[in-house]
Structure 1
Amino acid sequence: MSSAPRIILASGSAIRRDILTGAGVPFEVMKPEVDEGVIKDEGGREGVDLETLAMRLAEAKCLDIAAKTNAIVIGSDQIMEFKGRAYDKPASMDEARARLLETQGAAHTLINAIAVARDGRIIWRNLDRPKLVMRKLSAGEIDAYLKGAGPEILHSVGAYQIEKLGARLFERIEGDHYAVLGLSLFPLLDLLRREGALLF
């Protein structure tokens, strides 16, 4: 009986590691060497939509690692869209505060793209667009949240971590909870079963 293929997560994201670990998926982590700024600049010049851009980033990450191994390689990327604009991770707590002031009381979308490669080629893609509706928040509430959550939120495009204190910022979420966190788990598990990487 042949052994199950190795699984590699092409990401330095702690929450993506936690999602796979929590689901009992055996995997290794390899951080890709991809210049996201170059891909974003190219996409901007070409006028591609944000879904296409997110998928290009996910593909680039998994292909960078897949070129070095015959394992199943998972790449993922997430872009926040608010009023037609794309947002990167905030660079400072002041920028995080400004973002929360801008998005409070309104809805935004998180575009979550996953690309999986095996034997050096893309074998599967998945795109999710969960919608998040934020409560109306005062400046004082936002300041209290930032003080409680701390600079760890700078790792999130929306300046929040929905799995932690950030849950208190929202009225509701429409869509896949795992896609909000950064990795659409259920379709990925289905793919890993089909590829013989998981028994169940």
Structure 2
Amino acid sequence: MTSTPRIILASGSAIRREILTGADIPFEVMKPDVNEDVIKEAGRDEGLDLESLAMRLAEAKCMDIASKTNAIVIGSDQIMEFEDRAYDKPADMTAAKARLMETQGAPHTLINAIAVARNGEIVWRNLDRPTLVMRALSETEIDAYLEAAGPDILHSVGAYQIEKLGSRLFERIEGDHFAVLGLSLYPLLDFLRREGAIAF
């Protein structure tokens, strides 16, 4: 009888853990030791497009853990793209307010990349680009949101948590809900079924 392969999430992200837990996926967490700033700088120097950069980051996280185990290792990364520019997570609440003031009333894209390794090699990749259309917001509304949501929003590149109070900021979302959260669940589930890691 073939044993079910172990699954490791190579991420320190709480929301990615919640996504897998919610789908009742048996997994372990190992936080990768990856310097994202170095990878981003190298990617910019090479002229990488944002999709390629997001995938490179996901692969680096994945392979840092995959080099130490023969488990199925899931790495993921997300880059926010607004008006052809990439955005990192806001450093503080002042930066978060500036981010929301800039993006209110307009669409932006979240580039979500997943790389999966098994036996130390990348065996699967997935890329999603959901578009989020933020409604027009006044400065008063943004201030009220930031006060209510608190500093947890600094863990999000867009300065919002769509699964919580941040849902009030949007007019509509086009694309996969889980990709917005940071891990495209449905294609990942399909891959895990094919690998015999989950029964259904």
Same fold (TM over 0.5): yes
Q: CA deviation at 1:3?
A: 1.3
TM-score normalised over the length of structure 1: 1.00
Hey, what does 1:30 align to over in structure 2? Answer: 30
Q: CA deviation at 1:47?
A: 0.6
TM-score normalised over the length of structure 2: 1.00
Counterparts of 1:36 and 1:161, CA distance in 2: 22
Is residue 186 of structure 1 aligned with residue 162 of structure 2?
A: no
> Alpha-carbon deviations, 1:30-57, whole Å to 9, x = none?
0000010110000000111000000000
Hey, what does 1:42 align to over in structure 2? Answer: 42
Hey, what does 1:137 align to over in structure 2? Answer: 137
Hey, what does 1:73 align to over in structure 2? Answer: 73
Counterparts of 1:76 and 1:131, CA distance in 2: 18
Counterparts of 2:101 and 2:57, CA distance in 1: 28
- After TM superposition, the structure 1 = structure 2 runs for residues 70-149 of structure 1, keeping only pairs within 5 Å, are 70-149=70-149
Equivalent residue of 1:32, what SS?
coil
Counterparts of 2:171 and 2:3, CA distance in 1: 46
Counterparts of 1:131 and 1:34, CA distance in 2: 28
Q: CA deviation at 1:11?
A: 0.1
Q: CA deviation at 1:60?
A: 0.2
Q: What are structure 1's unaligned runs of at least 5 residues?
A: none
Counterpart residue type for residue 57 of structure 2: L
Hey, what does 2:20 align to over in structure 1? Answer: 20
Counterparts of 1:60 and 1:194, CA distance in 2: 24
> Alpha-carbon deviations, 1:91-126, whole Å to 9, x = none?
000000000000000000000000000000000000
> Alpha-carbon deviations, 1:44-83, whole Å to 9, x = none?
0011100000000000000000000000000000000000
| Aligned residue pair count | 200
Is residue 165 of structure 1 aligned with residue 169 of structure 2?
A: no
> Alpha-carbon deviations, 1:165-194, whole Å to 9, x = none?
000000000000000000000000000000
Equivalent residue of 1:161, what SS?
coil
Counterpart residue type for residue 181 of structure 2: L
Counterparts of 2:194 and 2:61, CA distance in 1: 22
**What is the RMSD computed on CA atoms of the aligned residues?**
0.3
Q: What are structure 2's unaligned runs of at least 5 residues?
A: none
Equivalent residue of 2:136, what SS?
coil
Q: Which runs of 4+ in 1 moved over 6 A?
A: none
Q: Percent identity?
A: 80
Counterpart residue type for residue 55 of structure 1: M
Counterparts of 1:184 and 1:48, CA distance in 2: 22
